[in-house]
Structure 1
Amino acid sequence: MSSNAHSFYYGGKFLSKVTDLVRSEIEPIIAARGDEFVDIEYVKEKSQNYLRIYVDKDQPGGIDIDEIAALSEEVSEKLDSLEPDPLPDPYVLELSSPGVERPIKNAKDWEKANGEYIHVGLYQKIDGKKMFEGTLKSYNDEEIELEIKIKTRRKTLTIPRKLIANARFAIEF
């Protein structure tokens, strides 16, 4: 999940991205419902702009479709009320759960991922590869330890956090 950068001055603050403003406006709505903000992206696909907001609930089964529909109404009303409009071009608002392969972006996500099977994309190659999948054995601010499978044997790989471009939960086949 990524977003296009749009710099602007809004409400006495300089924001580097439209998504920064939108997030600051909608996060309290999401939190008030007991839901969890996961991610946001503002992208253009073909000729259409999309504002995608990913939410979840910290409970077994996560957030359900009825909760997402109700939250979508509240978020839409809030965005329509903002002056000046940070999204002056027409866009499609999409609220959804991040799904099974949700991104790992913050400390809470890394905590949830500990002991789980994950996918990691790197900025630089390690052992000739830029992508790894395996079980997260440990993590800290500096590095992660990922148990990977090479043919029939298992190996623990230490990956510096600064080399991680993206990480997400994955499904082991």
Structure 2
Amino acid sequence: MTERPFHEGLEARIADTVAPTLEHMGYELVRIQVSGKERPVLQVMADRADDAPFRVEDCEAISHALGAVLDVNDPFRGEWTLEVSSAGIDRPLTRAKDWERYAGHVATVELAIPMEGRKRFKGVVLGADAEIARLKLDDGSEMALPRASIRRAKLVLTDELIAATALPPAAAN
């Protein structure tokens, strides 16, 4: 089974509902996010399991498939909107494989529970396992952050990240 990102509450229930369909289609769930109260917006962020570039056609296919799944297991009362997107360049780091893949790049992390008197950290990604994400801070110290305590973690858009994620000229066509 593919490693799935950690979610809580309604977002966890939605992730459990949509992830099997995504995986069957050849995608991986990156993040579920619900925003808004009057007319909720459900954002589903995904990657291609084959690591090929994510295209508009991928968003369309996922949107159609998940729309059908969510119509049956309607997570909201009343009207709501489904948005499907790729993780993008300055992507969230939600799975251990994301932390491993982007080791060496700069990220920001916000914890739910303060550690050493602070909730926010910025540094170079060193990797992660199932429990701990590692970050090298600007002062050279290393932090072992409990993944279960991470509220948000995302890459910082840098020239190095852009260069590392740029498509080779032949693949861009």
Q: TM-score, normalised by structure 1?
A: 0.70
1:107 CA displacement: 2.1
- Opposite residue 168 of structure 1, the aligned amino acid is K
The CA distance in 2 between the partners of 1:34 and 1:52, in whole Å, is 19
| Paired position in structure 2 for 1:32 | 24
8 Å CA contact retained: 1:143, 1:158: no
Larger Rg: 1
8 Å CA contact retained: 1:121, 1:165: yes
Aligned CA distance change for structure 1 residues 118 and 31 (closer, same or farther; 3 Å): same
What is the CA deviation profile of residues 21-63 of structure 1, one whole-angstrom value per residue up to 9, with x for unaligned ones? 3322221221122111111122215x32111111111455631
**Which has the larger share of strand?**
1
8 Å CA contact retained: 2:96, 2:129: no
1:170 aligns with 2:160: no
Consecutive unaligned residues of structure 1, counting only runs of 5 or more, are 4-15
Q: Determine helix, strand or coil for the equivalent of 2:40.
A: strand
**Which has the larger share of helix?**
2
Query: What is the count of residue pairs matched by the alignment?
Result: 152
> How do residues 87-98 of structure 1 correspond to structure 2 at under 5 angstroms?
87-98=76-87
The CA distance in 2 between the partners of 1:138 and 1:52, in whole Å, is 26
Q: Determine helix, strand or coil for the equivalent of 2:138.
A: strand
The CA distance in 1 between the partners of 2:75 and 2:69, in whole Å, is 12
8 Å CA contact retained: 1:30, 1:71: yes
1:129 CA displacement: 5.2
Identity of aligned residues (%): 24
- Opposite residue 36 of structure 2, the aligned amino acid is K
8 Å CA contact retained: 2:99, 2:133: no
1:156 aligns with 2:141: yes
| Paired position in structure 2 for 1:11 | none
1:132 aligns with 2:124: no
Q: TM-score, normalised by structure 2?
A: 0.70
1:18 aligns with 2:10: yes
8 Å CA contact retained: 1:18, 1:87: no
- Opposite residue 28 of structure 2, the aligned amino acid is E
CA RMSD of aligned residues (A): 3.0
Tell me which of 43, 53, 59 is aligned to 1:52.
Answer: 43
8 Å CA contact retained: 2:100, 2:127: no
1:86 aligns with 2:75: yes
Q: Determine helix, strand or coil for the equivalent of 1:48.
A: coil
The CA distance in 2 between the partners of 1:76 and 1:120, in whole Å, is 32
